Amino acid sequence: MSVLVGPDTRLLVQGLGRDGSFQSSRAREYGVNMVAGVHPGRGGQKFENAVPIFESASEAVDRTGANVGVIFVPAPFAADAIIEQVDAGLDLIVTITEHVPVLDMVKVLAYLEGKKTRLIGPNCPGIIQPSSRVKVGIIPANIVQEGRIGVVSRSGTLTYEAIAQLSQYGMGESTCVGIGGDPLHGTTFTDVLEMFENDPDTDAIVLIGEIGGTREQSAAEFIKTGVTKPVVAAIVGQTAPPGKRMGHAGAIVTGKAALASEKIDALRNAGAHVVNSPAYIGRQMRDLIG
Amino acid sequence: MKIHEYQARQLLADYGVPVPRGEVADTSRDARRIAEDIGGPVVVKAQVHAGGRGKAGGVKVVGTPLEAENAAASILGRPLVTPQTPPGGVVPRKVMVAEAAQIERELFLAALVDGEARAPVVMASTEGGVEIEEVAENNPDKIIRVEADPLVGLSPYRARALSVKLGLPTNLVHPAADLIGNLYRLFTEKDCTLVEINPLVVTVDGRIIALDAKIELEDDALFRHPDLARLHDPDQDDEHELRAARAGLSYVKLEGGRVGCMVNGAGLAMATMDITRWAGAEPANFLDVGGSASEDAIAEAFRIIVSDPEVEAILVNLFGGILRTDGAARGIIAAAQETGADLPIVVSMRGTNAEEGRRLLAESGLEVTSADSLSGAADALREVLGDAAR
């Protein structure tokens, strides 16, 4: 069983505006099986003359057997779209949308309790899996190659940077997962680490964290006992001043635990190989498994 | 979005939270009139978006209307420097004039979202009137915390339990619980990221009053609160951060740095700042141009970076996706020519049309060093800074 997505992935895209359409085209070019679109007012039409568009997610799921949803709808409507996709019975929802209000996410996460649906994001680049040519989200397909490294990150372009570094040293990816830069998000580092640990296609893991929150510490706790595969980690934001938000809603030093140095210590103590500079992710991985 | 104390006080009052009698004044004459209306001792407080006002001389307790006028005159229009302001301080344009309460006890009360608990929480402490971060550090046991259920809200019994734990006398437990419920309602209905009352005081005559208040509103939820969006005071923002926001850029000035950074993506921007230090210099700013910045936005980003007199070199790190790096190169060249900035620029461009972008920069006549990786950029920067030192 591969991580999060695989050859059986049947993708539903909700929100076919400018970004949603552009990214859906790229994802289809890459090879993803996009079976449905959802966009209000466009039910009955087809995306690129091929994929049926529906008015609602539940109708789309009933008619196409979609099992993974991706959300591009604007932030004011994103929480509602997530709840709609949960109700439609999707297994996995990837929310790309940035700037979803925190109190909306509080309710969404509470609503997800006890449901079978897993949420990735919001404010994330999504998932890409070269072996099955599945792309759910916005990670550029031309930078990844099939390989055996699992990548999990809170960031978008920094994930691309890590992938580029792996490529530079001749390594490719099993699955890349962006969990998002918001303080309240669905799937955590720990969840994805567990999936990579259990994934026969993954030999080693790259974890990219940043200042803010304590999710990296939770990941470190899990790595201690739950991860046997090598983990290369980078934590960015060492030069960020306290109390200032660094772009991502969650990237702010509010107390000692939120500091990069605290996270680095926790991960090192857990046995992860934390690079001193984010420029050395690829090199460190090569040294470990090369 | 931060708002002023007087605005926060009004929101609290709208939600039935008792606040001291008082008004906001633009001039010292107004301050005098308000003090006359109140009668008796008043406190005159500078309205700035920064903590630490008291120690910096921005809060004065006075006995008479004339003293209130003098206090206001000494505060208004003069830069107030606190640990939370930029080094040059912030100029107060308004003062709050309020009755000086006869305080028996000072408490702390706040509502915020706890990311780990994934729920709103109300925090309280018997150690009011001091920085709560200090209490959290030195006396964590003194902080009482109740969670709200995301779907049910803050159950009244929990608010009552919190009031009891604060050691309030029986006759004040219910008023305090009501106050906590109202605070929570304000927090959720107005999409706040923080409502903090510090201190919440019990007066000598047995009332409970929110003596000082700090509210931060969620930027991402202002679309559903147009009335609150109007509370924004651009005077309190850093001029460059304001300019950047208008151009759709995310910029934060860092004190003491000398390398201006221009990056797409927040994570990569932080990584770029970090490798700047790795290369031997401090970054002058965080700047995320976003995932799909136009040529114009890039040009504005460049102008903002070079308007910082401390910047000696520029590090551009763009990973093109939707963003086209050739357009970005045109933006940089246009802004560099327009501003006449002749600073060395290290550029790492990858992704969409990166070759074209690099070619444009190489032929532009600007002092550009190209790199094709993060470590290459660090090396190039080290060299450029070494040259500058010589």
What ipTM did this prediction achieve? 0.92
Q: Quick check: B389 pLDDT over 60?
A: no
Chain A residues near residue B374 by CB distance under 8 angstroms: 161, 165, 277-279
Residue A29: pLDDT over 70: yes
User: Are B119 and A280 within 8 A, CB to CB?
Assistant: no
**Run of H or E residues at A268:** helix A260-269
- State pTM to two decimals: 0.93
Tokens 């790190």, located at residue:
B317
Same domain, B142 and B256: no
**For chain B, give me the number of helices (H) and strands (E)?**
13, 16
Split into its structural domains, chain B has a count of 3
B9 occurs within a structural domain: no
- Among B229, B256, B287, give the residue marking a domain's end: B229
One domain, residues B182 and B252: no
Q: What is the pLDDT of residue B352?
A: 77
Rounded to a whole number of angstroms, the distance from the CA of B371 to the nearest CA of chain A is: 12
* In chain B, residues 171-200 whose CB comes closer than 8 Å to chain A: 188, 191, 193
| pLDDT reading at A173 higher than 70 | yes
Assess whether pLDDT exceeds 90 at residue A21: yes
Assess whether the previous peptide bond of A122 is cis (omega < 30° from 0): yes
Residue A251 clears pLDDT 90, i.e. is over it: no
| DSSP letter (8 states) at residue A181 | S
**Is B190 in the same domain as B265?**
no
**B59 CB neighbour count, 10 Å cutoff:** 17
Residue B110 lies in a domain: yes
Backbone angles phi, psi at A125, to 5 degrees: -85, -10
Tally of CB atoms within 10 A around B74 = 16
B262 and B325 share one domain: yes
pLDDT in tens, B80-127: 998 888 788 899 999 999 999 999 999 999 999 998 889 999 999 998
- Alpha-carbon distance A63 to nearest alpha carbon in chain B (angstroms): 32
Crossing angle of helices A215-226 and A189-197, rounded to 10°: 20
pLDDT range class, residue A233, cuts 50, 70, 90: very high
Region A201-214: what's the mean pLDDT?
Answer: 95
Measured between CB atoms, which of A106, A153, A214 is closest to B118? A106
Determine, yes or no, domain membership for B126.
Answer: yes
Q: Which residue of the set A39, A99, A185, A248 is catalytic? A: A248
CATH number at B272 reads 3.40.50.261
B274/A contact by beta carbon, under 8 A: yes
Judge: A160–B119 Cβ closer than 8 Å, yes or no: no
Residues B244 and B365 in one domain: yes
Last residue of a domain, one of B99, B118, B137: B99
Cβ distance A64 to A88 under 8 Å? no
Which of B120, B270, B351 has the CB atom closest to A251's CB atom? B270
**B277 vs A239: CB contact, 8 Å cut-off?**
yes
Task: Assess if residue B121 is contained within a domain.
Answer: yes
Range of the domain at B65: 21-99
B322 & B274 share domain: yes
Q: Is A248 a catalytic residue?
A: yes
Q: Which residues of A touch B322 (CB under 8 A)?
A: 19, 22
- The amino acid present at B49, given as its one-letter code, is H
Full DSSP string of B276-310: HHHTTS-BSEEEE--TT--HHHHHHHHHHHHTSTT
d(CA B135, CA B131) in angstroms, rounded, equals 7
CB contact B291 to A (< 8 Å): yes
| Whether residues B159 and B125 fall in one domain | yes
Cα–Cα distance, A34 to A28 (Å, whole number): 7
Let me know if residue B15 belongs to a domain.
no
Give the max Cα distance, chain A. 56
Domains in chain A with CATH codes: 11-120 (3.40.50.720), 144-289 (3.40.50.261)
State residue B291's pLDDT score.
Answer: 77
Residues B240-289 pLDDT 10s: 888 998 998 999 999 889 999 999 999 999 999 999 998 999 999 999 99
Cα A33 from Cα A125, distance rounded (Å): 18
Q: Which of B219, B220, B276 is best to mutate for the A interface (most A CBs within 10 A)?
A: B220
Q: Describe the strand order of the beta sheet including A34-38 as a list of residue ranges.
A: A46-47, A51-54, A34-38, A11-14, A68-71, A92-95, A118-120
Please answer yes or no on whether A279 and B278 come within 8 Å at the CB atom. Answer: yes
Distance from CA of A56 to the nearest CA of B (A): 24
Q: From CA B271, how far away is CA B138, in angstroms rounded?
A: 33
On the 0-12 / 13-18 / 19+ scale of CB atoms within 10 A, A18 is exposed
Q: Please indicate, yes or no, if residue B345 is contained in any of the structural domains.
A: yes
Distance from CA of A235 to the nearest CA of B (A): 8
Which residues in chain B are closer than 8 Å to A221, comparing Cβ atoms? none
Give the pairing of strands A68-71 and A92-95.
Answer: parallel
> Over the stretch B198-230, which tens digit does the pLDDT of each residue have?
999 999 999 999 999 999 999 999 999 999 999
Tell me what pLDDT residue B104 has. 94
Please list the alpha-helical segments (H only) found in chain B: 5-14, 28-38, 65-75, 132-138, 156-165, 170-189, 226-229, 239-246, 266-278, 295-306, 325-339, 354-362, 374-389
Among B115, B250, B322, whose Cβ lies nearest the Cβ of A247? Answer: B250
CATH code assigned at B69: 3.30.1490.20
Residue ending a domain, choose from B201, B229, B257 = B229
Q: What is the CA radius of gyration of chain A?
A: 18
Residue B80 lies in a domain: yes
Average pLDDT over residues A136-157: 94
Interface A-B: count of C-beta contacts within 8 A: 170
Residues B151 and B31 in one domain: no
Name the residue among A106, A208, A238 with its Cβ closest to that of B113.
Answer: A106
When the pLDDT of each residue in chain B is averaged and rounded to a whole number, the result is 92
pLDDT (0 to 100) of residue B293: 85
Q: Are B132 and B106 in contact (CB under 8 A)?
A: no
Q: What is the pLDDT of residue B141?
A: 83
Instruction: Look at residue B182 and tell me whether its pLDDT is greater than 70.
Output: yes
Together in a domain, B321 and B258: yes
B13 assigned to some structural domain: no
Q: Are residues B296 and B352 in the same domain?
A: yes
Q: What percent of chain B has pLDDT over 70?
A: 99
Q: Do the chains contact at B274 and A278, CB–CB below 8 Å?
A: yes
Choose the closest CB to B115 out of A143, A184, A276: A184
Residues B56 and B165 in one domain: no
Of A109, A234, A279, the CB nearest to B118: A109
pLDDT score for B178: 97
- A158 to B268: CB separation less than 8 angstroms, yes or no: yes
Rounded to a whole number, what is the distance in Å from the CA of A215 to chain B's nearest CA?
8
B66: which 2 tokens? 């004339």
* DSSP state for residue B80 in the 8-state scheme: B
Query: Considering only CB atoms, which chain A residues are within 8 Å of B265?
Result: 155-158, 247
